[in-house]
Chain A
Amino acid sequence: MKLKDKMILWSRLKSPWLLHFNSGACNGCDIEIVDALTPRYDVERFGLVLKSTPRHADVLVVSGPVTRQQAKRLKRIYNQMPEPKFVLAVGACACSGGVFDGCYSVLGGLDKAIPVTAYIPGCPARPEAIIDAVVKLITALEASTKKALK
């Protein structure tokens, strides 16, 4: 592996950048995500930073069921992200559609639209659960990276 690639891998592990996307949530999970990012729970200590553009993001954090209105936009944003990309589904609605499942305006859970890396259940998902998912994502990344480096 070249030094350049090693650098990129190292920085990706040390500081994955997030993009938060609301695909039709009631705002409960959004508040919990913001809660997890801000100093009380402070996910930023793991190097995670919230970004405002998909082109800079490594992890897409999606809250809410995928509405038929948002599905197209969600896919476009997912396609705009550079590889490798990871998707966190936050909350019961993003996992399975939740209480909105079966509604004519809702497509269903997040996996109906895009591939999902990790599911975080809860209504709303607690900040601890979000931190847990993030830590697990990073450890999984680390393990796969070490494998690749060998």
Chain B
Amino acid sequence: MSELIKEEEIKKALEEKFSGAVYDAVITRKNRIWLGVAPEKAVELMGFLKKEKGFYHLSTITGFDEGEKLGAIYHITDQHTIVNVKVRTPKEKPVLNTVMNVFPVCISYERELEDMFGIKIEGLPEGRNYPLPEGFPKGVHPLRKEVKLDDLNKLLNETEVK
């Protein structure tokens, strides 16, 4: 696999530096790296990618719900290669650390994670709901699997969010 030198090199560096924390690291194709990381090492890993490897841009954060676990995928790029960092957290007590110190742009993405998935972001400053409207029922996170549209609409009509 001669054409994947850069990707192999990044993957190897991450696995060496964060051995034990990084799992399921795969190169799906040219310029695409996927890996999972333990939540306590995530911020450090992204800081490493930014400082040492030149991945200076956080494209977006994707949230996901796997049933037992909630999580987020941080898509980090240097405009050529994209590293997708997957972080998982248990659904009973979903907590992730903010990456604000590494990528200050993350604030709106993380607020969205808080609203839509109910993942508590440690270190995120207080603010109003985003993107849900003010007065949206507390503890309801529309993108979670257990939320059903009909029930949610009924609840919203009852609570009169207008």
Q: Is the CB of A102 within 8 A of B162?
A: no
A124 to B18, CA, bound (A): 53
Please indicate the chain A residues that have their CB under 8 angstroms from the CB of B94 in the complex.
none
Q: Does A71 contact B (CB under 8 A)?
A: yes
Q: Is the CB of B162 within 8 A of A104?
A: no
- Closest residue of chain B to A67, judged by CB? B133
Q: Does A72 contact B (CB under 8 A)?
A: yes
Interface residue from A69, A102, A113 paired with B133 (Cβ < 8 Å):
A69
Q: Is the CB of B133 within 8 A of A68?
A: yes
8 cross-chain pairs, A with B, having the tightest CB-CB distances, nearest first: A68-B133, A69-B133, A104-B152, A68-B161, A71-B162, A104-B142, A104-B153, A104-B156
Count of B interface residues, CB-CB < 8 Å: 12
Interface residue from B132, B149, B152, B162 paired with A72 (Cβ < 8 Å):
B162
Q: Is the CB of B131 within 8 A of A104?
A: no
Q: Is the interface of B mostly helix, strand, loop or mixed?
A: loop
Q: Is the interface of A mostly helix, strand, loop or mixed?
A: mixed
- Which A residues from 95 to 131 make CB contacts under 8 A with B? 102, 104-105, 107, 113
- Closest residue of chain A to B162, judged by CB? A71
Indicate with 1 or 0, residue by residue over A50-87, a CB within 8 angstroms of chain B CB atoms: 00000000000000000111011000000000000000
Count of A interface residues, CB-CB < 8 Å: 10
Please indicate the chain B residues that have their CB under 8 angstroms from the CB of A102 in the complex.
149, 153
- Closest residue of chain A to B130, judged by CB? A69
What is the CB-to-nearest-CB distance from A108 to chain B, in angstroms, rounded to a whole number?
10
- Which B residues from 123 to 155 make CB contacts under 8 A with A? 131-134, 136, 142, 149, 152-153
Interface centre among B132, B136, B162 (most CB of A within 10 A): B162
What is the CB-to-nearest-CB distance from B33 to chain A, in angstroms, rounded to a whole number?
34
A103 to B75, CA, bound (A): 28
A145 to B132, CA, bound (A): 44
Interface residue from A67, A71, A104 paired with B149 (Cβ < 8 Å):
A104
A107 to B156, CA, bound (A): 9
What is the CB-to-nearest-CB distance from A68 to chain B, in angstroms, rounded to a whole number?
4
What is the CB-to-nearest-CB distance from A54 to chain B, in angstroms, rounded to a whole number?
19
Please indicate the chain A residues that have their CB under 8 angstroms from the CB of B131 in the complex.
69
Q: Is the CB of B162 within 8 A of A107?
A: yes
Please indicate the chain B residues that have their CB under 8 angstroms from the CB of A72 in the complex.
133-134, 162
Q: Is the CB of A113 within 8 A of B162?
A: yes
A69 to B161, CA, bound (A): 9
What is the CB-to-nearest-CB distance from A65 to chain B, in angstroms, rounded to a whole number?
14
What is the CB-to-nearest-CB distance from B116 to chain A, in angstroms, rounded to a whole number?
11
What is the CB-to-nearest-CB distance from A106 to chain B, in angstroms, rounded to a whole number?
10
Please indicate the chain B residues that have their CB under 8 angstroms from the CB of A69 in the complex.
131-133
Interface centre among A102, A105, A107 (most CB of B within 10 A): A105
